[in-house]
Amino acid sequence: MDREETLVCGLMVKDPIDKLLDDATSGKSLFKNREVLHFTFMPELVLHRDDEQKKVTQALIPLLKKARPSNLLVYGKPGTGKTLVVKKVLNKIQEKVKDGSFPIQLLYANAKEETTLYGLLIKLGRQLIEKGREKEFPTTGLSISEVFNRIVSAIEKNGLNTVFVIDEIDYLAELVSKTGKDVFYSLTRANERLKKGSLTLIGISNDLTFKERLDPRVLSSLSEEEIVFTNYTVNQIKEILTERIKEAFIPNVLDPAALNLCAAMSGQEHGDARRAIDLLRVAGEIAEREQSDMIKEDHIRRASLKMEEDKETTALTSYPLHEKLLILAVMKANGNSTGEIYQSYKSLCKTTRQKDLTQRRVTQMLSEIEMTGLISGKIVHQGMHGRTKKFALTLNPDTVKKAFKEDLVLEDLL
Ligand SMILES: Nc1ncnc2c1ncn2[C@@H]1O[C@H](COP(=O)(O)OP(=O)(O)OP(=O)(O)O)[C@@H](O)[C@H]1O
Ligand SMILES: [Mg+2]
SS3 sequence of the chain: CCCCEEEECCEEEECHHHHHHHHHHHCCCCECCHHHHCCCCCCCCCCCCHHHHHHHHHHHHHHHHCCCCCCEEEEECCCCCHHHHHHHHHHHHHHHHCCCCCCEEEEEEEHHHCCCHHHHHHHHHHCCCCCCCHHHCCCCCCCHHHHHHHHHHHHHHCCCEEEEEEECHHHHHHHHHHHCCCHHHHHHHHHHHCCCCEEEEEEEECCCCHHHHCCHHHHHHHCCEEEEECCCCHHHHHHHHHHHHHHHECCCCECHHHHHHHHHHHHCCCCCHHHHHHHHHHHHHHHHHCCCCCECHHHHHHHHHHHHHHHHHHHHHCCCHHHHHHHHHHHHCCCEEHHHHHHHHHHHHHHCCCCCCCHHHHHHHHHHHHHHCCEEEEEEECHHHCEEEEEEECCCHHHHHHHHCCCHHHHHHC
In the reported structure, the alpha carbon of residue 143 is separated from the centroid of ligand 1 by a whole-number distance in angstroms of: 36
If asked whether residues 213 and 87 sit together in one domain, one would say yes
If asked whether residues 270 and 337 sit together in one domain, one would say no
If asked whether residues 307 and 333 sit together in one domain, one would say no
Domain hosting residue 258, numbered range: 31-41+233-315
Nearest atom, ligand 1, residue 49 CA: 1
pLDDT at 96 over 50: yes
- Give me the CATH number covering residue 401: 1.10.10.10
The domain boundary, picked from 315, 347, 378, lies at 315
Q: Is residue 248 in some structural domain?
A: yes
Nearest atom, ligand 1, residue 80 CA: 21
- Give me the CATH number covering residue 253: 1.10.8.60
In the reported structure, the alpha carbon of residue 42 is separated from the centroid of ligand 1 by a whole-number distance in angstroms of: 9
If asked whether residues 96 and 192 sit together in one domain, one would say yes
Q: pLDDT tens digits, residue range 132-168?
A: 888 999 999 999 889 999 999 999 998 999 999 999 9
Q: Is residue 21 in some structural domain?
A: no
Q: Is residue 343 in some structural domain?
A: yes
Q: Is residue 9 in some structural domain?
A: no
In the reported structure, the alpha carbon of residue 236 is separated from the centroid of ligand 1 by a whole-number distance in angstroms of: 12
| DSSP bridge pairs for 8 | 11
Q: Backbone phi, then psi, for 79, in 5-degree steps? A: 70, 25
If asked whether residues 239 and 107 sit together in one domain, one would say no
Q: pLDDT tens digits, residue range 27-48?
A: 678 999 999 999 889 999 999 9
Indicate whether residue 83 lines ligand 1 (CB < 6 A): yes
Indicate whether residue 81 lines ligand 1 (CB < 6 A): yes
Of the candidates 396, 394, 387, 400, the residue with the CA atom closest to the CA atom of residue 337: 387
Indicate whether residue 102 lines ligand 1 (CB < 6 A): no
38-52 as b/e: b if 16+ CB within 10 A: eeeeeeeebbbbeeb
If asked whether residues 69 and 190 sit together in one domain, one would say yes
- Give me the CATH number covering residue 150: 3.40.50.300
Split at pLDDT 50, 70, 90, the class of 388 is confident
pLDDT at 178 over 90: no
If asked whether residues 291 and 325 sit together in one domain, one would say no
Indicate whether residue 205 lines ligand 1 (CB < 6 A): no
In the reported structure, the alpha carbon of residue 41 is separated from the centroid of ligand 1 by a whole-number distance in angstroms of: 10
Q: Is residue 202 in some structural domain?
A: yes
Q: Is residue 26 in some structural domain?
A: no
Indicate whether residue 74 lines ligand 1 (CB < 6 A): no
Q: Is residue 404 in some structural domain?
A: yes
Average pLDDT over residues 40-68: 94
Nearest residue (by CA) to ligand 1, atom 25, is: 78
Of the candidates 138, 201, 198, 149, the residue with the CA atom closest to the CA atom of residue 172: 201
If asked whether residues 77 and 146 sit together in one domain, one would say yes
- 247 contacts 36 by C-beta, under 8 angstroms: yes
261-290 as b/e: b if 16+ CB within 10 A: bbbebbbeeebbbebbbbbbbbbbbbbbee
In the reported structure, the alpha carbon of residue 278 is separated from the centroid of ligand 2 by a whole-number distance in angstroms of: 14
If asked whether residues 175 and 302 sit together in one domain, one would say no
In the reported structure, the alpha carbon of residue 80 is separated from the centroid of ligand 1 by a whole-number distance in angstroms of: 5
Q: pLDDT tens digits, residue range 336-381?
A: 999 999 999 999 999 999 999 999 999 999 999 999 889 999 998 8
In the reported structure, the alpha carbon of residue 159 is separated from the centroid of ligand 1 by a whole-number distance in angstroms of: 34
**Residues 279, 302: Cα–Cα separation, whole Å:** 9
Split at pLDDT 50, 70, 90, the class of 181 is low
Q: Is residue 392 in some structural domain?
A: yes
The domain boundary, picked from 275, 292, 315, lies at 315
The domain boundary, picked from 229, 258, 287, lies at 229
The phi-psi region of residue 48 (left if phi > 0; otherwise alpha if psi is between -120 and 50; otherwise beta) is left
- Proximal ligand: closest to the CA of 266: 1
If asked whether residues 163 and 121 sit together in one domain, one would say yes
Nearest residue (by CA) to ligand 1, atom 4, is: 46
If asked whether residues 254 and 303 sit together in one domain, one would say yes
Indicate whether residue 49 lines ligand 1 (CB < 6 A): yes
If asked whether residues 214 and 248 sit together in one domain, one would say no
> Considering its fold, how many domains does the chain have in total?
3
Q: pLDDT tens digits, residue range 218-252?
A: 888 888 899 999 999 999 999 999 999 999 999 99
Q: pLDDT tens digits, residue range 321-341?
A: 999 999 999 999 888 999 999
- Proximal ligand: closest to the CA of 78: 1
Residue type at 266 in one-letter notation: S
pLDDT score recorded for residue 1: 45
pTM for this one? 0.83
Residue type at 265 in one-letter notation: M
